[in-house]
Amino acid sequence: MPRSIYIAEIRISAPIERKIKVKHNVTPEKVREALVLRTDITAGWENHEQHGRRVVALGHTAVQRPILAALYPVDPSDGVWNLMTARSPGS
């Protein structure tokens, strides 16, 4: 049985916040709305050639806007992650 990925907190640095707002029109609030403390997300570990081991997670905001994010662990057992990027697929 696959182990679930618990996301209780997503930390977002100022440079990443600027990047996702400007490049992808996604706010930190929408990322957290779609992914934090949700049971209906799809998430899994990925070994990316350039960026290393990370979690890729897909969730939806309250208005069903999809948010796809790449997260790096700070403390996965406590559900703490750093955001590396986020976008809304299809936008």
Alpha carbons 73 and 91: distance in angstroms, whole number = 27
Q: How far is CA 10 from CA 41, 81, 90, 91, in A?
A: 14, 5, 23, 23
Confidence of residue 90 (pLDDT cuts 50, 70, 90): confident
pLDDT per residue over 6-50, tens digit each? 999 999 999 999 999 999 999 999 999 999 999 999 999 999 898
pTM over cut 0.85: yes
Give pLDDT, residue 76: 86
